[in-house]
A and B are shown apart, each in its own frame.
Chain A
Amino acid sequence: MRWLQAAMPFVVVAAIWEVVAHSGAFPPRLFPPLEEVATTLVRLTAAGILPHHAAETLFRLGAGFAFAATAGIALGIAMGRSRRAEDFLMPLVSIGAPIPGLAYAPLFLLWFGLGNTGSIVLVAFVAAFPIILNSWTGVKAVKEIWLRAAQTMGADGRRLFRHVILPGALPYILTGLRLGLAQAWRILVAVEMLAAVDWGLGWLIFGAREFLNTDAMLAGIAVIGAIGLGLEKVVFQRLENYTVVRWGMMAA
Chain B
Amino acid sequence: MKAAISIGFFLLLYEAVARSGWFAAALVPTLPAVAKTLWWMLAEGTMARHALATLYRVFAGLAAAAATGLLLGFLMARYRPVERFFLPLVSALMPIPSLAWAPVFILWFGLGDTATILVVFYAASFPMILNTWTGARAVNPLWLRAAGAMGAGGAAMFWKVVVPGALPFIITGLRLAFQRSWIAVVGAEMLAASAFGLGWVIFDAKEFLNADIMLASLAVIGAIGFLFERLVFGSLERSTVLRWGMVRAAKA
A206-B103, A214-B107, A217-B107 are known contacts. Are A228 and B6 too (CB-CB below 8 A)?
A: no
Chain A interface size band reads 35 or more
B89 in contact with A9 (CB, 8 Å): yes
Complex interface residues of chain A between 92 and 148 (CB less than 8 A to chain B): 92, 95, 98-107, 109-111
- Give the bracket for the number of chain B residues in contact with chain A: 35 or more
State the Cβ distance, B220 to closest chain A Cβ, in Å. Answer: 10
In this assembly, does B158 line the interface, its C-beta being within 8 Å of a C-beta of chain A?
Answer: no
- Check A209–B103 contact: CB distance below 8 A: yes
A-B contacts besides A100-B186, A106-B203, 16 pairs, CB < 8 Å: A8-B84, A9-B84, A98-B225, A98-B226, A100-B183, A102-B187, A102-B199, A186-B99, A189-B100, A190-B190, A193-B191, A194-B190, A205-B100, A208-B103, A209-B107, A224-B100
The answer to whether B195 has its CB under 8 Å from any CB of chain A is: no
Q: Please encode chain A, from 204 to 233, with 1 for each CB lying within 8 Å of some chain B CB and 0 for all others.
A: 011011001010011011001100110010
Which B1-56 residues sit within 8 Å CB-CB of chain A? Answer: 2-7, 9-10, 27-28
Q: How far is the CA of A91 from the CA of B199 in the complex (A)?
A: 25
**A104 to nearest B CB, angstroms?**
7
Docked-complex contact A232 and B95, CB < 8 angstroms = yes
Selected A-B contacts with CB under 8 Å, 21 pairs: A9-B88, A30-B107, A30-B108, A87-B6, A88-B2, A98-B222, A98-B226, A100-B182, A100-B225, A102-B199, A103-B199, A103-B202, A105-B203, A107-B202, A111-B28, A185-B97, A190-B97, A190-B102, A206-B103, A221-B101, A228-B97
Query: Is B206 an interface residue when CB atoms closer than 8 A count as contact?
Result: yes
CB neighbours (8 Å) of A31 from chain B are 108
> Residue B215 at the A interface, CB < 8 A?
yes
Does B147 belong to the interface (CB within 8 Å)? no
Residues of chain A at the chain B interface (Cβ within 8 Å) = 5-6, 8-10, 12-13, 30-31, 87-92, 95, 98-107, 109-111, 185-186, 189-190, 193-194, 202, 205-206, 208-209, 212, 214, 217-218, 220-221, 224-225, 228-229, 232
Chain B CB within 10 A, most for which of A12, A31, A107, A232: A107
Per DSSP, chain A at the interface is helix
B156 on the interface (CB 8 Å rule)? Answer: no
Chain B residue numbers with a CB within 8 Å of A6 are: 88
Contact A106 B190 (CB under 8 A): yes
Q: Tell me whether chain B's interface is mostly helix, strand or loop, or mixed.
A: helix
Instruction: Say whether A225 contacts B221, CB under 8 Å.
Output: no
Name the residue among B10, B28, B100 with the largest chain A CB count within 10 angstroms: B100
CB-nearest residue of chain A to B180: A186
Give the distance in Å from the alpha carbon of A209 to the alpha carbon of B191 in the complex.
12
Cα of A226 to Cα of B107 in the assembled complex, Å = 23
Would B96 and A91 count as touching, CB distance under 8 A?
Answer: no
Pick from B104, B203, B214, B229: contact of A221, CB below 8 A: B104
Report if B244 contacts A (CB, 8 A).
Answer: no
The chain B residue with its CB closest to the CB of A194 is B190
B6 in complex: contacting residue of A91, A214, A218, A221, CB < 8 Å: A91
The distance from the CB of A137 to the nearest CB of chain B, in whole angstroms, is: 13
Smallest Cβ distance from A47 to chain B, in angstroms?
Answer: 21
Max chain B C-beta neighbours (<10 A), residue from A106, A185, A193: A106
